[in-house]
Amino acid sequence: MTLPVIAIILSAALLHAVWNAIVKTAADRTTTLGLVAFGQVIPSAVMIAVLPLPSAESFPYILMSTVVHFGYYYMLGRAYQHGDFSVVYPIARGIVPALVGIWAMILAGEVLPLQAWAGIAVIACGIQLSSWKALRSGVGRAALVYAVGTGFCISIYSVVDGLGVRLSGSTLGYWAWGAFFHIFIAGFVAIRRRQSLAALPARTWALGIAGGLVSMAAYGLVLYAKNFAPLGAVSALRETSVIFAALIGFVFLKEGYWMRRLGSAVLMAAGVALIGTAV
C-alpha cells in the first residue's frame, strides 16, 4: 500500500473520530444524528446535479448501503446513550477489521497475507487497550449490545460500498448518491422529532450539519482508497480513528488515562506499518 493511500485513510480516520465526538457530546443524540445525515444531503444534492451517474450495476449497492446505514445510526445513537464515548467507540470499531476481512474474503475473493492479518490483530489489541480500564470495570449490557451491533453494521456497509464503488465507474458519483440517500434517514428522524426540531438552538443545528459535512468527507476518502487497496486493509487502517477518539475523549471530554492511550497509539502505529508493508 502506498504512502499517499495510507495518508488518505488516516485523514479519514481523524475526521470520523471528530464527527462521532460531536454526536456524543450532543444533548439529543438522535436529533443530532438526523442533522448529521441532513448535513450530507445538502452538498451531495449539488454534486449529483453536475456529476455523471455511477453505473446502473452500482445502484443496488448504494441502496443496500443506505438500508444498513439506518441500522448503523440507530445502533450508534443507542450505544452513546448507554456508554462513554471512549468505551463504546473502541468496541464498535474494534470488531470491524476482522469482520471486513472475512466478508471481503468470502464475497470478493480478497485473501490478505498473514502479515496483514497480524497488523489487523495488533490494531485490534491497540483498540481494546485504549479503554482497558473501563472494559475491565465492566461494560453495561445495553452499551455492549448496541456497540457490537454498530460494529456489525459498519462491517456490512464497508464491504457493500467497497464492492459498489468498484463497479460504479465514478467514485465521486457513487459518493454523492450514497450521501444524498441519507435524505431518507434525515427524513425519518425529522418525522420522529418534528415537535422538537423548531425549538432546537442554532448551535445544535450548526454542530449537526457540520458533523454531516465532516462525516461525508471522511467516507469519501475511504471510498477513494477502496479502489486501490484490499477492503480488509482499508478497514483496519480506518479503525485507527479509535486513537483519535481516545485523544479527543481524554483532552476534551476528560475520559481515560494518557499512558494507556500512548501505549494504544504505539500498537496501532505498529499495526499500520505491518499492513502498509504487506499489501
CB 25 within 8 A of CB 187: no
**Could you give the percent of the chain with pLDDT greater than 90?**
30
Query: Given this model, what pLDDT does residue 155 score?
Result: 92
**pLDDT, position 249:** 67
- CA neighbor of 14 nearest in space, from 209, 242, 256, 232: 242
Q: Please list, in sequence order, all residues whose beta carbon lies within 8 angstroms of the beta carbon of residue 238, skipping any fewer than 6 positions away.
A: 9, 12, 13, 16, 222
Confidence band (pLDDT; 50, 70, 90) for 83? confident
The grid coordinates listed for 248 are 479527543
Which of 273, 278, 279, 173 is CA-nearest to residue 223? 173
Using alpha carbons, select from 145, 22, 128, 124 the residue that is nearest to residue 79.
Answer: 145
- The tens digit of pLDDT for each residue in 173-226 reads 999 999 999 999 899 888 888 877 777 888 888 888 888 999 899 999 999 999
The residues spanned by each domain of the chain are 3-276
What is residue 2's three-state secondary structure? Answer: coil
C-alpha 98/C-alpha 124 separation (Å) is: 9
Would the pLDDT of 135 be above 70? no
Lowest mean pLDDT across 9-18, 54-63, 79-88, 141-150:
79-88
pTM given for the model: 0.82
* pLDDT band for position 227 (cuts 50, 70, 90): very high
